[in-house]
C-alpha cells in the first residue's frame, strides 16, 4: 500500500532542545492515524514540520509520494488556534480558502462543509462574533474544504460540545471513506478510539511505539492504561 506520510530521521531542535528527535514515521494512505503524547511531547512540532510551517533541523519528509510543495497544496490542516479575517463573514473566510486551493463548485462545497461541522446558521456572521468553539468549527470546515487527500488536524475537537464532537467525528469518517488520509492529535483518547485505524505514540520528542486498531482489539488493550504505562505515569513529570 502507498504511503501518505514518510519521515526519516526528522528532528527539530530549539536551542539544542529536541522537540522532535530522529522520527521515522509512516502513515499509510487511507489511514486515520492518531498521534498521542503528553503536553510538550512534540505532536504539534511534527505536524508543523509536515506542513512546512517550520524547517526541520535534520531529516526528510515525503507526502503523498509527490513533490512536497504540490503535496502540501493537497493537504488540509488545522494547527493550534486558527486565525481568520475577523471583519469578514464565515462564508467569505471560507471563500478565501477556496480561492487559495483553486476550488471549483465553490458555493455548494462551502455550504456542504459548513453543514458538516454544524456552522451553517453562522454563514453570514462576522468571524469576530463567533464563540471559541465556533471558530474551531470554522477551522475544521476550512481544513476539509475541497476534500483534501491528506488532513493534518491538531486537536480538532478542542473546545467543541458533545454534539459538535459527534458531527466532526462523522465528517472525518466520511472524508476518510472518500479517500482522505488523516493524521490527528487529541488528548481525548476515548474519542480517538472511535475513529483511529492506528496510533503513533510520542514521548519527549521520540516516536516510541505504534499500534493498530486490530492489535488493540485482538489483545484487548486499554488505550489509556497503555499510554500511562508507556509514558511512565505520573512520576514522569
Ligand atoms: N518555537 C519554539 N521555540 C522553543 N521551543 C518550542 C517551540 N515550539 C515548541 N517548542 C517546545 O517543543 C516541545 C514540543 O512542543 P509541541 O508544541 O510540539 O508539543 P505538543 O505535543 O503539541 O504539546 P501539547 O499537547 O501541549 O499541545 C515543548 O517542550 C515546547 O516547549
Task: Chunk the chain into consecutive blocks of 10 residues (it has 237) and report each block's average pLDDT, rounded to whole numbers.
Answer: 94 97 97 96 97 96 94 93 93 95 93 95 97 94 96 94 93 95 94 95 96 94 92 61
The Cα–Cα gap between 128 and 223 comes to: 38
Q: Is 60 part of any domain?
A: yes
Q: How many domains does the chain have?
A: 1
Of 130, 142, 28, 118, nearest in space to 87 by CA: 130
Supply the range of the domain harboring residue 235: 1-74+182-237
Between the CA of 124 and the centroid of ligand 1 the distance, in Å, is 35
Q: Is 20 part of any domain?
A: yes
Q: Write the DSSP symbol of residue 189.
A: H
Q: Is 152 part of any domain?
A: no
What's the pLDDT at 207? 97
Q: How far from chain centre, in Å, is Cα 56?
A: 19
Q: Is 207 part of any domain?
A: yes
Between the CA of 55 and the centroid of ligand 1 the distance, in Å, is 14
Q: Pick from 13, 36, 45 the residue to mutate for probing ligand 1's pocket: most ligand atoms within 8 Å of its CB.
A: 45
The Cα–Cα gap between 58 and 39 comes to: 23
Between the CA of 221 and the centroid of ligand 1 the distance, in Å, is 28
Between the CA of 20 and the centroid of ligand 1 the distance, in Å, is 9
Q: Is 187 part of any domain?
A: yes
Q: Which grid cell is 9?
A: 530521521
Ligand 1 atom nearest 48 alpha carbon: 18
Q: Which grid cell is 1?
A: 500500500
Q: Is 229 part of any domain?
A: yes
Q: What is the CATH number of the domain that holds 228?
A: 3.40.50.300
The Cα–Cα gap between 144 and 78 comes to: 9
- 0.80 exceeded by pTM: yes
The Cα–Cα gap between 157 and 191 comes to: 9
Q: Is 137 part of any domain?
A: no
Q: Which grid cell is 212?
A: 493498530
Helices (H), the chain: 43-51, 68-73, 90-100, 106-116, 132-144, 162-177, 189-195, 213-218, 223-231
With a Cβ cut-off of 6 Å, ligand 1 is lined by 14, 19, 37, 39-45
What's the pLDDT at 231? 85
Q: Is 160 part of any domain?
A: no
Query: Which residues are registered as beta bridge partners of 3?
Result: 28
What's the pLDDT at 237? 46
Q: Pick from 34, 44, 155, 204 the residue to mutate for probing ligand 1's pocket: most ligand atoms within 8 Å of its CB.
A: 44
Amino acid at each position: 500500500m502507498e504511503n501518505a506520510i514518510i519521515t526519516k530521521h526528522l528532528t527539530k531542535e530549539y536551542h539544542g532542545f529536541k522537540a522532535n528527535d530522529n522520527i521515522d514515521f509512516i502513515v499509510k494512505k487511507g489511514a486515520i492515524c492518531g498521534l498521542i503524547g503528553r503536553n510538550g511531547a512534540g505532536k504539534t512540532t511534527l505536524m508543523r514540520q509536515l506542513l512546512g510551517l517550520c524547517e526541520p533541523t535534520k531529516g526528510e519528509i515525503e507526502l503523498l509520494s509527490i513533490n512536497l510543495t504540490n503535496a502540501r497544496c493537497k493537504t488540509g490542516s488545522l494547527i493550534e488556534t486558527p486565525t481568520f479575517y475577523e471583519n469578514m463573514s464565515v462564508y467569505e473566510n471560507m471563500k478565501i480558502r477556496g480561492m487559495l486551493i483553486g476550488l471549483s463548485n465553490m458555493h455548494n462545497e462551502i455550504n456542504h462543509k459548513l453543514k458538516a461541522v454544524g456552522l451553517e446558521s453562522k454563514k453570514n456572521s462576522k468571524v469576530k462574533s463567533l464563540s471559541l468553539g465556533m471558530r474551531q468549527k470554522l477551522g475544521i470546515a476550512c481544513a476539509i474544504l475541497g476534500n483534501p487527500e491528506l488532513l493534518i488536524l491538531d486537536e480538532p475537537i478542542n473546545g467543541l460540545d458533545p454534539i459538535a464532537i459527534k458531527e466532526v467525528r462523522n465528517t472525518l469518517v466520511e472524508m476518510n471513506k472518500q479517500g482522505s488520509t488523516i493524521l490527528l492529535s487529541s488528548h481525548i483518547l476515548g474519542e480517538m478510539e472511535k475513529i483511529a485505524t492506528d496510533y503513533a505514540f510520542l514521548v519527549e520528542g521520540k516516536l516510541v511505539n505504534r499500534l493498530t486498531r486490530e492489535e488493540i482489539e485482538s489483545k484487548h488493550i486499554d488505550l489509556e492504561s497503555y499510554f500511562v504505562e508507556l509514558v511512565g505515569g505520573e512520576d514522569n513529570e
